[in-house]
Amino acid sequence: MTQASPNNLSITLNSATYVRVLASLISVVMICAALFLVARLTTWLSYPRPESIANNSDLWRALWTGFRFDLAIVIRANLLGLLISICCIPLPTIASHFGWLLNRYWGGLILVIAVWVSIVNFSYIGFFNRPIDSIAYNGLNYGAATIWPTVISMDPSGLRLFIGLSVTALVLWSYRKVGEIIVKWIGFVHVRRIPFFTLAIILPLMFVMLLGRGTVSTFPLSQRHLIVSSETAVNNIVPNGIVALYYGYKEFKQSKTISPALDTEGRELFKVFYGEPPLDQPLFSQFFTRTPSSIFLEKNPPNVVFNLIESMSNALLLPTFNLGTDLAGQMRQHLDEDYYFNRFLPAHDDTQKSLMSLMVNTEYSTISYSSHQHIALQTSVARVFKKAGYRTVFIYAGFEGLSNRSDYLKTQGFDEFIGAHQLRELYPAMASSVWGGEDKFVFEEAVKQLLSNNERSQPLFIVTLSVTNHPPYQLPKHHDLILSAPADSLSDRLQDLPAESLDTYRYTNDQLGRFMSAVKNSRLKSNTIVAATGDHAIRGMSYNSAERLHELSVPFYLYLPVNYRPSLQPNTNQIASHKDIMPTLYNAALSNARYPNLGRNLLAPKGNEQYHSFAYHAEYLVVDETAYSKAGQGREVTSEFMLVPNTINADKPPDRGQVYNQAIDWLTRFQLTNGPVD
């Protein structure tokens, strides 16, 4: 009997080890696929979903597409280890043993990651109503000391932590047992090299490559395949946690890339946006317009205060949602007395994005802490008021360094930025929180600034930004609210939110109401314009698909002194959005002021509006009484701001609305890549 040479024996042993690695890879793929399926079904059953979708092919398409993503992402993650084990076949046995251990430990790490990102993605969908995206990476800018208390404030974070640890232990135990079975059943058997090469290497590699692509068509699985339906709840379950994490990071990285703003591109956008070609002159200035000249405003420039309120959801102000639990606090009387637009949308569902959109008219949310942070933009709101002779002040309940807001907003024209550290020095009684201070002292400082300002020498433009109504929803200890339990149906809507979220919501509204009372009960009543809106709605509450606009909506409140009110009563039932706030304030307060022509004056009769008769949100565009999702499908909007449940056959929205964000993007890129412009 011919004995095998040591070299042939080594190859045989290594070949068997490779087959074990292949079997181990299959086990990792199967366990991950099962994990991700359970996560999808749990998400589908736990959060609001269209009831009519139960027998719809969209759901099955989402599950099938998600399964393809599961296979593709796990195989891609393990492919390098498989290739290493193939390369180890002709090497000494110790190399093959190393390849086996490498693949086993790497597979275990993949399983642990799969468990925890699934839990994180599940919680993220519950709070933001979408899988992990770039906002998660933007949030890292806040630091662990701020993020961790926010995360654990969500209900039931303790239960999810326990489930995560338990599932991790179960998965690793199962993985270990499967590994023992693989070692037992795939022994050091004699194999012929040519059939082995063909059957155990070439064919499996081809199969793995095919599954790794996720498709046999020309194009492999990519981000565009994540959208399988017009229903958000359906699309939410397509990406597993790892896929969502990957595309969120990709989106985050792309948001930092600024490409040149070509003149030909800008002129085409101008033509579509305004419905007429630009003049044969420098283009940038043609995106600006002017308020009408007014002798009264020139002689009597009013103070202007704009309050951006954390998570000020409009739905919770409505009896149909709060069911008798009035959460407006002392703000209720002012909502009843003054202009209150309750069919109103924010620009985004994120504070930083909405803030940058409102303050500098940009979609680049990271601009305040990017390499472009020192470039002053002519599209800045503060700059418009400064050119009109105003002193500009930003008062923030949060820490100045968050997203570099203090330095950046001063670069954009604010003369003074007062944050939590300065407020603590000015008001020693203010307690600190993970996000900063208390909203009460923001409004006290605003009143102080207004009353100490020389009434006629220089008017004030003040912007405030609150933080109390933000996770972890810590109600200040020295409040004087009389707290009462909400109606059961309202409590049921809280989903993952703690009950304290309603208390902090009411607290901030109460403080805003007191600020308004202070204005109206002083000399400021006759010369101070006050506006307020939410940076976004409260997140994490339960809504059905017909309530999608309510889920997103924020109020827009506006107080105008008697002499500054329009002659005709404005239509407060019109559908509008963040883009319309500053043009409204410019026209109410400034004479012959130049400003970016990107929104409409809500105080003007509708017939006077030429370009901007639509409401814009990052996910929706509302034209007249029809809301369009990103997919372009229209749904009728009822007078109560509800969506008609069934999708209607509507034409796509006007091109003007569709290119709104592209026009803003071009204006930003033009300023960042062309240097100072005027």
Residue showing tokens 């959208």 = 227
Inform me whether the pLDDT recorded for 651 exceeds 90. no
Q: Which residues contact 244 (CB under 8 A, 6 or more apart)?
A: 117, 121, 124, 131, 132, 133
Q: Which residues contact 466 (CB under 8 A, 6 or more apart)?
A: 307, 308, 309, 310, 397, 439, 442, 508, 511
CA 575/CA 613 separation, integer angstroms: 9
Higher per-residue confidence, 224 vs 35: 35
In a domain? residue 427: yes
- Taking CA atoms, 201 is separated from 27, 79, 89, 97, in Å, by 18, 13, 11, 18
pLDDT at 193: 46
pLDDT at 185: 76
For residue 308, the SS3 value is strand
H helix or E strand, kind and range, residue 126: helix 93-128
In a domain? residue 672: no
pLDDT at 1: 41
Q: Tell me: do 149 and 74 sit in the same domain.
A: yes
Predicted confidence band at 152 (pLDDT cuts at 50, 70, 90)? low
By CB atoms closer than 10 A (0-12, 13-18, 19+), residue 466 is: buried
Beta bridge pairs of residue 303: 528
Residue ending a domain, choose from 253, 271, 304: 253
pLDDT at 17: 74
Q: List the alpha helices (DSSP H) in 202-291.
A: 203-213, 232-236, 241-254, 263-274
Could you tell me if 241 and 120 are in contact, meaning their C-beta atoms sit under 8 angstroms apart?
A: yes
Q: What is the mean pLDDT of residues 518-532?
A: 97
Closest by Cα among 541, 157, 575, 580 to 349: 541
Using one digit for the tens of pLDDT, what is the confidence trace for 358-414? 999 999 888 888 878 889 999 999 999 999 999 999 999 998 878 889 889 999 999
| Strand duo 339-341 + 556-559: pairing | antiparallel
Inform me whether the pLDDT recorded for 632 exceeds 70. no
pLDDT at 194: 43
pLDDT at 421: 87
Higher per-residue confidence, 314 vs 399: 314
Measure the N-to-C terminal CA separation of the chain; round to a whole number of Å.
93
Higher per-residue confidence, 372 vs 37: 37
Q: Tell me: do 224 and 341 sit in the same domain.
A: no
Q: Tell me: do 565 and 609 sit in the same domain.
A: yes
In a domain? residue 609: yes
CA 78/CA 614 separation, integer angstroms: 48
Inform me whether the pLDDT recorded for 282 exceeds 60. yes
Beta bridge pairs of residue 614: 623
CA 440/CA 515 separation, integer angstroms: 9
In a domain? residue 659: no
Inform me whether the pLDDT recorded for 504 exceeds 50. yes
* % residues pLDDT > 90 (the chain): 45
Using one digit for the tens of pLDDT, what is the confidence trace for 545-598? 888 899 999 999 999 999 999 988 999 999 999 999 999 999 999 999 999 999
pLDDT at 503: 92
Inform me whether the pLDDT recorded for 3 exceeds 60. no
Q: What is the mean pLDDT of residues 215-220?
A: 59
In a domain? residue 45: yes
pLDDT at 191: 47
Predicted confidence band at 203 (pLDDT cuts at 50, 70, 90)? low
Predicted confidence band at 2 (pLDDT cuts at 50, 70, 90)? very low
- Taking CA atoms, 229 is separated from 62, 213, 639, in Å, by 8, 22, 26
CA 211/CA 224 separation, integer angstroms: 18
pLDDT at 190: 43
Inform me whether the pLDDT recorded for 535 exceeds 90. yes
Using one digit for the tens of pLDDT, what is the confidence trace for 456-480? 579 999 999 999 999 888 899 878 8
For residue 385, the SS3 value is helix
Q: For the chain, what is the domain count?
A: 2
pLDDT at 196: 52
Predicted confidence band at 325 (pLDDT cuts at 50, 70, 90)? confident
pLDDT at 340: 98
What CATH number should be reported for the domain holding residue 293? 3.40.720.10
Q: Tell me: do 230 and 335 sit in the same domain.
A: no
Average pLDDT, the chain: 85
pLDDT at 307: 98
Inform me whether the pLDDT recorded for 605 exceeds 70. yes
Q: Tell me: do 312 and 185 sit in the same domain.
A: no
Inform me whether the pLDDT recorded for 156 exceeds 80. no
* C-beta neighbour count of 431 within 10 angstroms: 12
Of 165-169, 188-192, 587-591, minimum mean pLDDT range = 188-192
Which residues of 478-575 form beta strands (DSSP E)? Answer: 528-534, 556-559
Inform me whether the pLDDT recorded for 447 exceeds 60. yes
Could you tell me if 505 and 313 are in contact, meaning their C-beta atoms sit under 8 angstroms apart?
A: yes
pLDDT at 372: 83
Inform me whether the pLDDT recorded for 251 exceeds 60. yes
By CB atoms closer than 10 A (0-12, 13-18, 19+), residue 371 is: exposed
The number of residues making up the chain comes to 678
Look at the pTM and tell me if it is higher than 0.85: no
Q: Which residues contact 130 (CB under 8 A, 6 or more apart)?
A: 124, 232, 236
For residue 42, the 8-state DSSP code is H
pLDDT at 178: 87
pLDDT at 589: 98
Using one digit for the tens of pLDDT, what is the confidence trace for 68-118? 888 888 888 887 877 777 777 767 777 777 878 888 898 899 999 999 999
CA 549/CA 203 separation, integer angstroms: 51
Domain of residue 209: give its range. 6-253
Q: Tell me: do 450 and 581 sit in the same domain.
A: yes
- Taking CA atoms, 113 is separated from 28, 30, 173, 397, in Å, by 12, 15, 15, 36
Residue ending a domain, choose from 206, 229, 253: 253
Inform me whether the pLDDT recorded for 454 exceeds 70. no
Tokens of 498: 């703690």
In a domain? residue 262: no
| Strand duo 344-345 + 391-396: pairing | unpaired
Could you tell me if 391 and 611 are in contact, meaning their C-beta atoms sit under 8 angstroms apart?
A: no
pLDDT at 39: 92
H helix or E strand, kind and range, residue 345: strand 344-345
CA 584/CA 578 separation, integer angstroms: 10
CA 533/CA 464 separation, integer angstroms: 11
CA 77/CA 241 separation, integer angstroms: 14
CA 534/CA 354 separation, integer angstroms: 9
Residue showing tokens 């600190």 = 432
Q: Tell me: do 194 and 327 sit in the same domain.
A: no
Tokens of 497: 């939110």
Q: List the alpha helices (DSSP H) in 255-375.
A: 263-274, 295-299, 319-322, 332-337, 351-360
Could you tell me if 153 and 473 are in contact, meaning their C-beta atoms sit under 8 angstroms apart?
A: yes
Higher per-residue confidence, 21 vs 221: 21
Tokens of 490: 């309202």
Q: Tell me: do 396 and 531 sit in the same domain.
A: yes
In a domain? residue 292: yes
Helix axes 660-674, 263-274, angle to 10 degrees: 150
Of 349-353, 451-455, 470-474, 495-499, minimum mean pLDDT range = 451-455
Tokens of 163: 């489930």
In a domain? residue 440: yes
* % residues pLDDT > 70 (the chain): 84
Using one digit for the tens of pLDDT, what is the confidence trace for 118-148? 999 888 888 777 888 877 776 666 666 666 6
Q: List the alpha helices (DSSP H) in 470-589.
A: 488-493, 500-520, 548-552, 581-589
With helix as H, strand as E and coil as C, how does 156-173 read? CHHHHHHHHHHHHHHHHH
Inform me whether the pLDDT recorded for 602 exceeds 90. yes
Q: Tell me: do 329 and 235 sit in the same domain.
A: no
For residue 200, which phi and psi values (nearest 5 degrees)? -100, -15
Whether omega before 555 lies within 30 degrees of 0, making that bond cis, reads: no
Q: Tell me: do 168 and 241 sit in the same domain.
A: yes
Q: Tell me: do 453 and 362 sit in the same domain.
A: yes
- Taking CA atoms, 254 is separated from 138, 259, 406, 536, in Å, by 13, 10, 25, 24
Q: Tell me: do 229 and 367 sit in the same domain.
A: no
For residue 398, the 8-state DSSP code is B
Higher per-residue confidence, 347 vs 66: 347
